Structure formats: structure tokens, C-alpha cells
Structure 1
């Protein structure tokens, strides 16, 4: 039907079947057949044939605005489909852990927006298990989480980040080249968010050393713990990505724990295996990886 309407609109515009066929890259017999088929379908004659060309009938004039809207909508639909296929338009739905959303995601989105200004972005945050549920339910298309395994999920390693001991420049530890796990225990730690993987990894570090850390203060976020350290209220094991600016500005110092292994957290992209990544999602992940290189 849309091909027939395109011929009808073109004939109305140019006044002859021959000119309409030329603009639509059709043969004249093919254009004539489509126009006649449309008239049969509608049960009316759309044009009056004259020696000078084709003139709209009363039925044709009544039909034309609807046909023009249908043709225009079809062209817009095709353009939108093509744009979505090449990642030039659409909607990007992301789910990520809070720290990733604050410290990693913004730079990736700056790059992504520069490449795809017409794509709208929606971000949901939650712990990795919550993001997994959102991906499985289809509420988000891509999740940025720690390493999780699920039979219905595909994943890809995107980035790695260290957990590091941070202290205020005025803290006694700041004058040291390194400290021991036992010294950290005696000092007491500012911990954050018992439900996060960061908390689990911090506990595991001391468990491997056979030490139970002493908790000096608890916060509910990385940002809160960082602010307490920056005010000189204690020390904390924090994601390196969260304190990069403070380290550069000498507002915090980073200290190795000499007798403890380095803690590295990996960030993965996850998506439903039965819903392969779209061009838009692939473009975003490329920006995320580029922002970490």
C-alpha cells in the first residue's frame, strides 16, 4: 500500500505518471499499475485523465492529505530505523553500581554524548545484584557491575580499579612509605556500605592477614567515607578512582599496606544473552573503555 501511495502523491505533485515514475525510480508501467491498484483498493477514481496530464478528482483531493501524511510517516520511520541500526538515535538504558555511576560513568558519557548527541540516556543505580535483576527483567539493557555469573547473562571486562589505603596529609601515617595490616587495625578504619563489594573485599584483605579490623566509623557511601578522611577523622580503604582528584591536589595521600596483597576490583558490562548489544550500547561501551585507557 505505501508504494501505491507514494506513486499517488508523486503524480499529484508532478501531474504525469511518467515524471512520477522517474522520481521514484520506477518504470512507467509499474507506476501506472500501482496507481490503478490503489484506485481499485479505494473504490474510486483519484485522477481525471486529460491530454495535458493528470488532474486530481474530488476523491483524489480528499485522499491527498492523508496519503502525504502516511508517506511522510513511513519515510520518518525508515530514517529512525536506519539511525537506530547505526547507533545514531534511540535510548541508552544503563544500570550501574553507585561508585561507578559517580566516578567512572560521567567521563564515558561525555565522550558518548559527543558522538551520539541525539541518543537519550537513562541511568539506574544499585548494588551489583540489583543491577543484575534489572538487566534480567529488561528494565536496563546494559549493567556495569562487579564480576557476576548467571546462565542468561553475557559479560565483558571493561576496567579495573585498585582499593587503596587513604589518609589525610596531616595523619602520622602520611609520613611513612608504607604501613602494616596490624597498624591499620590499631588505628581503626572508616568503613562504608556493608552491602557493597568494597566492604567484602576490605574484610577479605584483613581475613587473609588473620586480623579483624577495628571499625572507627561507618558511613553509607564511598563519598561520605572520603570526606571523613579528608577532614582528618581517620583512614579508609577506598577505590582509587574515587580519590584521584584528591591525590592530585595533595588533599589525601595513598599508602601501601606492606604485608597485604593488592586489592583489585574489576568492572564488567553485562547484558542478556538473548538480547545482543545494540549499536548504541556498543558505542557506549567503547567510550567507557576509551575513558579508562
Structure 2
């Protein structure tokens, strides 16, 4: 049966009169009668009984009409959902994000996104920026958020840059670094970031640190520094709101300009055409506009 047959049965059940039902369906009575006979033939049973007073449902007819009503209700629900797809944000937003951003910045943005678009789903993976680029190249995610200067030919949006600081509970001046016996705590990172720190260190001190502790995660490095075990070089994104009692010395390059790390949003053109990605970009832009001083 087609949806038109389901509607025919429900109208007949509502009117219980062939003439009135034919008028509502914009067909002639003979045509309506013929279509009803064909439906009853398909079901192999009588659905309506005719009399001088009109129509009445057979027991089997009651079951069939209830079924027709249920089908039409489900059709309406599906059509409403399809209409909603055109006006609401649905689907899964697939993001690959540099771990440091995923831990310290992205959650605030995602909170706004899920509050505004409750029907959307999120798939998030984190890792080093080199891993994020690989995920985008392999098309396993829609967009990536990476640190540094990306070698990317497609669309990219600059999100923010945050300064790098030498952070410690004791060292207040950069000259004191060579005087302390406390360790320099380093965390494993992508090669660009690591090289940037190494270049700065050798320009500044022309020697290696007296003692070094290497950890696998930036969060471990941060917590060890905050607990006074040693000093570290950390980006501002990790320090906001949790740096009480710490001394922060900004890193300067050879031109005495502050050294900062950039964060970028990038992906293929086709990804930025997706409704959920467009909505996410809008949320990011709003967040950056209202939180421009959050990172320094």
C-alpha cells in the first residue's frame, strides 16, 4: 500500500460516508469505491460494510485502519525530522585537536557548541600537531586544531597565539637559571616546538641545563612545576587561572620580541561546507570575540 491508500482509509474511517470521503479526497465516488475494493483485495478481507446509514468498520477493518493511522503518524514524524535537518544542526562533528588545546581551551568552546546544538554529536581525538595533520590528510576527521605554523594549502583560520614563559616558584629573573641546581622539567612534544625551545635556550645560555627531567605529558610537567620540583617553559594557555604564587618570565627572541605559539583551525573546503562545521566555526568566532584577553 502507498501512503495515499493509508490516507484514503483514515478519511473513510473519519467520515463513514462515501460521498463525504470522496469530496475530501477530491475523487469521484465510483473511483473511491474502486480503490477501496482494490485495497480490500490486497488485504484479502472486507474493511468496510456499506449500509443505507453509511459505512461501518469490520473487526479486521479496525485493525487495518489503526495500522494506517500509525503509518501516517510515523510518516509525519519522519517528515518533521527531515525538515529539521534543513534548519537544525545534526550529524557528527569530527575534530582532531592538539592535546594542549584539547585540555585547556577547547572544552569551553565545546560547552557552548553542545548547549546551542543539542542534536549534534562530537567525535574528538587529541595528539601532537603532526598526528592531527595526518588525520586530516587521511580524511578521518572534518577539521583539525594544531599548534605552530602549519604547512597547509587548504583553508585555515588563525585562532590565537599565546606567549611562552619560563615558570618557577623561585626564579624571578632569567639570569638565575644558571645559578640554580633545581632541574629543568621538559615535556615531550612535536619536533617544531621542541626545536624552538632548544634554539631559545642556546641563544640565551650557550650551554645545556645542569639537570633535566623529561616527562611524557605537558600536564605532568605543569603539575611538577606548580609543586616546586623544578622550572619549566610553558605556554600561556596552560597558566590562566592557575598560576598563583608562580613567577612567569616571558621568553624573548633575538629581537627582544616575545616568543609565542600560534593555534590554527584547518581542514578541506568540503569540510567547511558541512552544517555542523559551519556552526562550530561560528561558535569559535563568538568565543574568541568575547574572550580575546583570556590568553596572554
TM surpasses 0.5: yes
Is structure 2 residue 188 aligned with structure 1 residue 190? Answer: no
Cα 1:76/1:128, change in 2 over 3 Å: farther
Question: Could you tell me how far apart the structure 2 residues matched to 1:137 and 1:120 are?
Answer: 21
Q: Does the 8 Å contact 2:89/2:279 carry over to 1?
A: no
Gaps of 5+ in 2: 290-296
Deviations 1:162-187 (A, max 9, x none): 24113224x23x2x4xx37xx76786
Question: Could you tell me how far apart the structure 2 residues matched to 1:5 and 1:218 are?
Answer: 71
The aligned runs of 1:1-293 (5 Å cut-off) are 1-13=2-14, 15=16, 28-29=26-27, 40=38, 43-44=42-43, 46-49=47-50, 52-57=53-58, 60-146=61-147, 148-149=150-151, 154-169=154-169, 171-172=170-171, 174=172, 176=173, 179=174, 189-195=184-190, 197-206=192-201, 211=206, 214=209, 216-247=212-243, 250-260=244-254, 261-293=257-289
Question: Could you tell me how far apart the structure 2 residues matched to 1:272 and 1:233 are?
Answer: 44
Question: Could you tell me how far apart the structure 2 residues matched to 1:34 and 1:131 are?
Answer: 63
Q: How many residues align?
A: 279
Cα 1:143/1:119, change in 2 over 3 Å: same
Deviation at 1:104, TM superposition (A): 1.0
Cα 1:291/1:43, change in 2 over 3 Å: same
Q: TM-score, normalised by structure 1?
A: 0.73
Question: Could you tell me how far apart the structure 2 residues matched to 1:195 and 1:10 are?
Answer: 69
Deviations 1:75-120 (A, max 9, x none): 3322333333333444333221211111111111221222123433
Q: TM-score, normalised by structure 2?
A: 0.73
Question: Could you tell me how far apart the structure 1 residues matched to 2:261 and 2:201 are?
Answer: 16
Question: Could you tell me how far apart the structure 2 residues matched to 1:19 and 1:10 are?
Answer: 9
Cα 1:96/1:194, change in 2 over 3 Å: closer
Question: Could you tell me how far apart the structure 2 residues matched to 1:200 and 1:39 are?
Answer: 83
Partner SS state of residue 229, structure 2: coil
Deviations 1:21-44 (A, max 9, x none): 99xxx7623999799668647735
Gaps of 5+ in 1: none
Cα 1:159/1:76, change in 2 over 3 Å: same
RMSD, matched Cα: 3.9
